[in-house]
Amino acid sequence: MTLILQVEGVSKRFGGLQALMQVTFDLAQGHILGLIGPNGAGKTTLFNTINGVFTPDEGRIRFLGRDVTGAKPYDMARMGMARTHQIVRPLNELTVRENVMAGACFGHENQGLRQASIIADEVMSFAGLAARANQLAGSLNVAQKKRLEMARALAAHPKLLLLDEVLAGLTPSEIDGMVKTILEIRSQGVTIIMIEHVMKAIMNVSDRIFVLEYGMQIAEGKPEDVVRNPKVVEAYLGDPQMAKRLMEEG
């Protein structure tokens, strides 16, 4: 088993707030890790620490076997890490194609404009955005902007993709379509960590689930085991019958 990411005892404080406390996990290449927990649990802070927005106060982060603790987001992008954001951030005054090209230009392959345009066409077709290639990004609806955010990240040809609530605000049919896309991305060899509150979806796509509460790890393992963990039920699911329903629906 090849490990693509190793997070070792990572802690992060903001003044008196302990946002992360001794978080440790490994991620195997080609797997999907689901990251869940209540609002304010530290999930996005963990993403920001992994991809270089924040430097951990304690602990180490290794990506592709290399110690990247303290590296900047552009360093991580050049190494092959890409991400989406909980609040979508398209370049509103650029077209959909130009947004996706930006991902190719600033990814780890550092593509020129000609090749970036070719990659953008391929990725837009995959993401269901080809018909909107020349439309301004700012005119897209929420679901389309989420697909654009993902397409821009995919154009970087990442080895590791961080997805921050890509299903939030989508209709059930849009969620089903996005889940299918996520599984197709994994089938292409891309490793994924995804933060999500849509429990049925994340339980069905994840190889493993990692649970945070108040910045601390409270559970990790296979979805069917984590969802039955009493600590997870108490801290996050709230309803002891939720585990049974999730497993039946899955």
Q: Residue 244: pLDDT above 80?
A: no
Percent of the chain with pLDDT over 70: 94
Predicted local confidence at residue 193, as pLDDT:
98
Q: Which residue is it, tokens 């903001």?
A: 14
Predicted local confidence at residue 239, as pLDDT:
61
- pLDDT digit string, tens, across residues 59-105: 999 999 999 999 999 999 999 999 999 888 899 999 999 999 999 99
CATH fold of 3-80+159-249, please?
Rossmann fold (3.40.50)
Q: Residue 240: pLDDT above 70?
A: no
Q: Residue 150: pLDDT above 80?
A: yes
- pLDDT digit string, tens, across residues 161-205: 999 999 888 899 989 999 999 999 999 999 999 999 888 899 889
Q: Which residue is it, tokens 């060899």?
A: 189
Q: How large is the average pLDDT for residues 151-156?
A: 95
Predicted local confidence at residue 126, as pLDDT:
93
Q: How large is the average pLDDT for residues 119-143?
A: 95
Predicted local confidence at residue 17, as pLDDT:
93
Predicted local confidence at residue 42, as pLDDT:
95
- Which of 20-24, 46-50, 141-145, 233-237 is least confident? 233-237
Q: Residue 131: pLDDT above 70?
A: yes
Q: Residue 246: pLDDT above 80?
A: no
At 234, the pLDDT band (50, 70, 90 cuts) reads confident
Q: Residue 25: pLDDT above 90?
A: yes
How confident is the prediction for the chain on average, in pLDDT?
Answer: 92
Q: Residue 241: pLDDT above 80?
A: no
Q: List the domain boundaries for the chain.
A: 3-80+159-249, 86-157
Q: Residue 249: pLDDT above 70?
A: no
Predicted local confidence at residue 108, as pLDDT:
86
